[in-house]
Chains A and B, each alone.
Chain A
Amino acid sequence: MKLVGSRTAATAILAAVALTTAACGSSASSGGSPGNQGSQGAILIGVPVPLSGEYASAGTDILHGAQLAAKDINAKGGVDGRKIQIVSQDDACQASTGSQAAQKLISQGIVAAAGGYCSTAAFPELQAFHRMGIPYVMDASTNPQLTEQHFAEAFRTIGRDDEQGPIAASFITGFLHGKRVAVGNDNSTYAKGLADATVSALQQDGAQVVFNNALTPGQSDYTSFLTKIGQSKPEVFYYTGYYPEFGLLLKEAKQLGLKFTMMGGDANNDPTLIKTAGSAASGAMMTTAPLAQFLSSAKGYVDAYQSAYGTSPGPYSTYEYDAVGVVAQAIKAAHSTTPGKITAALKSISYQGISGDFHFDSAGDRKPANYIIITVKGDSFAPYKQYDNATKQWTNVS
């Protein structure tokens, strides 16, 4: 998922400071010397994330998640008596820097990698790890192509962009009982892909797609776009683009007196949406990977993160915590720190993570797909429904 927005210099500096102190903390607690691959030293897990530039704060959140995971694993005696140590490299969310970051991690002697944020940087990182046979468990990169290359080393603990469409379609037809559905996007690669996946899933589910068109992002007035949607008389409108436009759509639909249900994709999970739409946001729904604060299984993690770093854990660090955790369990299962054996163990692992229980399919994608429906309550987002695979029903988020 592409994130809109940027960080100020001040937060970048703060992040860098936090990072330095955190890094000192982790090397002090682990006590192992980097590069030591002997059976007595710490097991090194590499974390390539953006630690500078626009997405530095997201990268720092992810690194914190990895460090908390290592701390928890080591507190329980580590893996086969050895400690886990996190080594991080800045990939700056850029392809070229990502490639270098992966090389540096490899030369430091990591046995597996867990991390990544931008799909752009994750591609060359995955290439580099693939050449060395080192498994790479990604926590935030949702581009379907990452696992479509069918590298044995590619895994991810987050869903893919094209899994969201079927989930959205299933919710619209199965829970909202929508028969006439409108789908809108903003012509960006991500939003168009999600819209296409949703449309074909809706048609498979027997719903009629009465409107499927794009708006021009960046404008203020979408009233005629909405009027046109209203003419097609949908029961549900699913918008796959980003929050600045969806906020306006919600607000202007209310002004126009349009009555259909409005639902958005996972790029709409931003507080600006609620500020823009005001009271019109109330009750709007979104499909999204669950945030840590919505998961009862992650409650302990959220508290630990809050007390360790003084902030909320961000959208992806939960998935990084699970990425490090699943690697540790794979090492345990393989009884080996040989990257090839860890990869093989990851293929057949079944993991109980704080983001839910999952395993990897043959491509390395997380199964079952992990999306929930959230809704706007008052001036914040609240969890709403999730699909229960056992009962084939949409149930309240536990």
Chain B
Amino acid sequence: MSAFLQYVVNGLTSGAFIALVALGYTMIYGVIRLINFAHGDVLMVGSFIGYEVVVWLVAQHWPIALVVLLALLAGMAFTGGLGMAIERVAYHPLLNSSRLAILISALGVSLALEQAAQLIFGAGFSAYPSVLPTAGFSFAGAHASYVQVGMFGLSLLLMLGLWLFVTRTMAGTAMRALAMDKDAATLMGINVPRTILLTFMLGSVLAGASGVMQGMYYTEINFFMGFLIGLRAFTAAVLGGIGNIPGAMVAGLLIGLIGSFSDGYISSSWSDAIIFAVLIAVLVFKPTGLFGERVAERV
């Protein structure tokens, strides 16, 4: 029983990080029908920006809470800008071309970001300085650290913030309108290019936050880290019904739990196989995802 609870704790932690990334996939797909393959790499860039800030500020002996906050903000700000720049440079000119062209452009951006990061930050691993306390607590035989709880809470807060933005603000309403019907949205006077740009910014900011948080929590980052987390997050986005924001949040946590249970009860080397088998099963039996009724299929 205690092991079961521990697997739940472990799974929810990694699931929260995945969910933040899955949101970006789902939002961007919602507005321009693009699987943004560069999304995981945006996360990686955010992680490195956070790393540079942490290393620099720790060397200046700034208080830890401030270091963490500034690193998060810097990572989020940078990836937000990066997301918008990517949209302008690589996707915007291709919005009216074939789906394939923009998909290939996304792959190109992904490779460009990885290679650039390799040249700038090196091919090896970088390790965040250990700034966070490791203290924790036990309950019912499971162990969790305060940092873990904090990270989970922060992820939920960010998701809640996004949810409020999308449902309660004018810009959020515009995003949802664009996701439902681009032509109708244009006719209603919605500034489509600006809304797309905003979507990229929000998605990338969440990826950046996830990148910095993962860096601080797991310490070890490298230029290739975006690939695997990107795959899992993409799976979560599909599982939740691509384009469906609450779906991505729930499915992100679910993917984390599936990974954790498979690590624990089957074998770590099978985890990816199991997660991607889930992806295939969803695509075959329920292509709109677990909660996929909200976004109607349009071709």
Contact = CB atoms under 8 A, between A and B. Distances in A.
Contacts of B222: 244
A222 B214 contact: no
B271 A248 contact: no
A215 interface: yes
A228 B219 contact: no
B83 interface: no
A221 B13 contact: yes
A82 to B, nearest CB: 44
Contacts of B263: 222, 224-225, 227-228
Interface residues of B, number: 39
A255 B145 contact: yes
B191 interface: no
A257 B218 contact: no
Interface string A165-199: 00000000000000000000001000000000000
B220 A244 contact: yes
Interface in B103-154: 122-125, 127, 130, 134, 136, 138, 143, 145, 148
B260 A224 contact: yes
B269 A224 contact: no
Contacts of A225: 263-264, 268
Nearest to A245: B220
A331 to B, nearest CB: 41
Given A6-B124, A256-B143, A272-B124, A213 B218 contact: no
Nearest to B134: A255
Contacts of A227: 3, 6-7, 10, 263-264
Contact of A278 (B11, B219, B224, B264): B219
A216 B228 CA distance: 11
Given A5-B124, A8-B122, A256-B6, A222 B268 contact: yes
Contacts of B134: 254-255, 279-280
Given A213-B269, A244-B125, A256-B143, A224 B261 contact: yes
Interface string A214-249: 111011111111011011000000000000100110
A187 B270 CA distance: 11
* Among B14, B122, B125, B214, residue most surrounded by chain A Cβ atoms (within 10 Å): B125
A247 B261 CA distance: 22
A276 B219 contact: yes
A196 to B, nearest CB: 15
A221 B220 CA distance: 11
Nearest to A220: B218
B222 to A, nearest CB: 8
Nearest to B225: A220
Interface string B46-78: 000000000000000000000000000000000
Interface of A: 4-6, 8, 187, 213-216, 218-225, 227-228, 230-231, 244, 247-248, 251, 254-257, 272, 275-280
30 contacts: A4-B124, A213-B269, A215-B269, A216-B269, A220-B14, A220-B220, A221-B14, A221-B260, A223-B10, A223-B13, A223-B14, A224-B6, A224-B259, A225-B264, A227-B6, A227-B263, A227-B264, A228-B264, A244-B125, A247-B220, A248-B219, A255-B143, A256-B6, A257-B136, A257-B138, A275-B127, A276-B125, A277-B219, A278-B130, A278-B219
Interface of B: 3, 6-7, 10-11, 13-14, 122-125, 127, 130, 134, 136, 138, 143, 145, 148, 214, 218-220, 222, 224-225, 228-229, 259-261, 263-265, 267-269, 271-272
7 A-B pairs closest in CB distance: A224-B263, A275-B127, A278-B130, A220-B218, A223-B10, A215-B268, A224-B260
